[in-house]
Structure 1
Amino acid sequence: MNIAQRFISMFAAFMVFVLVGCAPTSTREGTGEYIDDTLITSKVKAAFAADPTVKATEVKVETFKGTVQLSGFVESRESAQKAVQLARGVKGVKEVRNNTVLK
């Protein structure tokens, strides 16, 4: 085996490890999913900021594989329901988990 063949074999093995390392699992997102979730989180926060009934600074938004989790404090039940409704209205959201607490 000459040097070129060894190099090609090592490079191929390296690429296999890289691709396997970036693959998504049930507890870890892939690169594309991470980007999608970041975009969903940004759109939900923007929807909160545009709505006067939801205090965007007091509701934390986290997204994992299309599932949005809301946490933090809200002024009323109506405000919590509005936050859930706004989050569900964002394209790409599969599920909304509401863990907000009334002040």
Structure 2
Amino acid sequence: MRYAIRLSSIMLAGLLLIGGCTAMTGETAGQYVDDSTITASVKAKLVGEKTANLTRIDVDTTNQVVSLTGIVESPDQKARAEQLASQVSGVKSVKNNLQVQKKQ
């Protein structure tokens, strides 16, 4: 009986801790993993792009919304980066904050 009470207390404390972590970030553990997977997939697509150098782009994902920031050399590269990001499974939308800067 004491074992059951102790185990129940430990499980309740664990649930409270997990709930507190969720409240701090606004994301559940599953959402965080999904967002991390999306970010990694978008980065892989950008690095694997053969027609343009899209390696100076930072990618962040929150609640399946991908944010692209950084510098590209042309409006075409900016559009291509957004297109690649939107093709990744699980992406709801893409915020394209890329800056176009001509190569000097």
Q: TM-score range by the shorter chain?
A: 0.7 to 0.9
Provide the TM-score with structure 2 as the length reference: 0.81
Kindly report the root-mean-square deviation, in angstroms, between the aligned alpha carbons of the 2 structures.
2.2
Give the Å deviation of 1:20. 1.7
One-letter amino acid matched to 2:6? F
Structure 2 residue aligned with 1:34, among 32, 35, 40?
32
Per the alignment, residue 74 of structure 1 pairs with 72
Bigger drift between 91-100 and 7-16 goes to 7-16
Deviations 1:52-73 (A, max 9, x none): 3442320111001100000000
Q: How does 1:40-59 map to 2 (within 5 A)?
A: 40-59=38-57
Q: Distance in 2 between matches of 1:38 and 1:72?
A: 19
Per the alignment, residue 17 of structure 1 pairs with 16
- Hey, which of these two has a bigger chunk of helix by percent? 2
Per the alignment, residue 102 of structure 1 pairs with 100
Provide the TM-score with structure 1 as the length reference: 0.81
Q: Distance in 2 between matches of 1:60 and 1:15?
A: 35
Q: Distance in 2 between matches of 1:5 and 1:78?
A: 63
Could you tell me which runs of 5 or more consecutive residues in structure 1 were left unpaired when the two chains were aligned.
Answer: none
